[in-house]
Amino acid sequence: MRRSHLLAFGLLGSAAALVAPAGPATAQETLKIGVPTALTGTYAGLGAEAVRAIEFAVAEANAKGGVAGHKVEIKTLDTEAKPEVARKQAEKLALEGYKILTGTIASGEGLAMGPLLARWDAIYVSTINKSDKLTGDSCVPRMFRTNHQDAQDAAVVRPWLGSRKEGKWAILAADIAWGRDSGKSFVEAAKVNKKDIVAEIYSPFGSNDYAPFIQQIKSSGAEGLWVALAGRDAINFATQAKEFGLLDKVFVAGVSFVTDNNVKTLGATSKGIWGIINYSSTLDTPANKAFVEAWKTKYNGDEPASFEGETYLGMQVIFQAVEKAKSVKPVDVAKAMRGGTFDTVLGKVTLRAEDHQMVLPNYFGYIGERGGKLRPIITETIPANVATTPPTGTCKMGEL
């Protein structure tokens, strides 16, 4: 009698345990997205763009009744673009349940978060980090990149550099993972094209005074200058370079330098600067046109800027992965992302399973006038299969 009671309770208990987590609770579970990004400091401008794009995507999804029935919620914390702070803030977000992390700016931040994602049971989707290491030797199963990596930018720079008449080049890049990567790729591109690198300068992240570097570039006799600076660094440099007359003497091109935000701040100074354009609101795909229209309606006629477009793309990928996985669990979402194909503002794109890098087309162009406004104008479109070089093999991807 007693034993049978015990058995009955036992069976009932295990049945309850089996049913409970699979019940309605999961169907309404909120999709919680954590945004550890730069709200202050040198990259605050970029952080603001990332946050705006994420908020836009979330509002859009929630207006449609959520992602596969899951309401979307975000929480943003300031990382100051410092790896150490990013680690702490990401941990806080993940432990509060915001386990799908995105919108982080500096590559160093992504690299700091990567090894800890498993400990936090989180995933990280980069929409702005460019360092090849993220999907190279530092790759982890829970880290993805939906934006362009340095190698993709380099693939665009190589043929373009060959077409330039300038023979002597200088490099000015931020002394962080991304700047170093970009500088290295440019040196290689120069070698291939038989161009001389006469100065290779890495300025401290968050510099205010670029005068010594500008002087160095001037005295190096460079005819062309490759700039890998972003945010306030880019603006400080460009303003001072104009004052010192560098922009008139030397042909300037760069990466993350030809962005809408910089154009807005620099005005006429930026006219004629060439560079890699990873996203432009002028891109002629139906998905992008719809996105730009919706954005304009929401933000008083403003068009989405470069990092806004790229981050929105990342959000599209996350949402579609959740739909495919029918789950908001980080591991399930990660499985759906790996090797998946997604409809984005840049068309149909695939997230490579080998290294978790998105296979993307890339663009090149300059800042010029169109429709009475200064903006990045695309002159060259490089298809995804050319722009994205095959995995280098440095990434040894583990199991999820």
Which of residues 203 and 320 has its CB atom nearest to other proteins in the complex? 203
How far apart (Å, rounded) are the C-alpha atoms in residues 38 and 272?
A: 29
CA proximity to 277, closest of 380, 368, 371, 369: 380
End-to-end CA distance of the chain, in Å? 47
Which of residues 38 and 273 has its CB atom nearest to other proteins in the complex? 38
* 3-class secondary-structure state, position 131: coil
Which of residues 34 and 376 has its CB atom nearest to other proteins in the complex? 34
Minimum CB–partner distance for residue 373 and other proteins (Å): 31
Residues in contact with other proteins by the rule CB under 8 A: 39-40, 77-78, 82-85, 87-88, 91-92, 95-96, 106-108, 111-112, 114-116, 119, 138, 175-177, 180, 204-205
Minimum CB–partner distance for residue 173 and other proteins (Å): 12
List Cβ neighbours of 140 (8 Å cut-off, separation of 6 or more).
114, 115, 117, 118, 397, 398
Neighbours of 286 (CB within 10 A): 9
Which of residues 77 and 336 has its CB atom nearest to other proteins in the complex? 77
Q: Which residue has the tokens 């959520």?
A: 66
Q: Checking DSSP bridges between strand 100-102 and strand 31-37, what pairing results, if any?
A: parallel
Minimum CB–partner distance for residue 337 and other proteins (Å): 23
Minimum CB–partner distance for residue 322 and other proteins (Å): 24
Which of residues 85 and 255 has its CB atom nearest to other proteins in the complex? 85
Minimum CB–partner distance for residue 275 and other proteins (Å): 23
Which of residues 44 and 315 has its CB atom nearest to other proteins in the complex? 44
Which of residues 206 and 365 has its CB atom nearest to other proteins in the complex? 206
Task: Report CA torsion sign: 82, 86, 88, 89.
Answer: positive
Tokens standing for residue 255: 């990466």
Minimum CB–partner distance for residue 21 and other proteins (Å): 18
Tokens standing for residue 56: 């836009």
| Backbone Cα Rg of the chain | 23
Minimum CB–partner distance for residue 196 and other proteins (Å): 24
Amino acid, single-letter form, for residue 10: G
The dihedrals phi and psi of 327, each to the nearest 5 degrees, come to: -160, 155
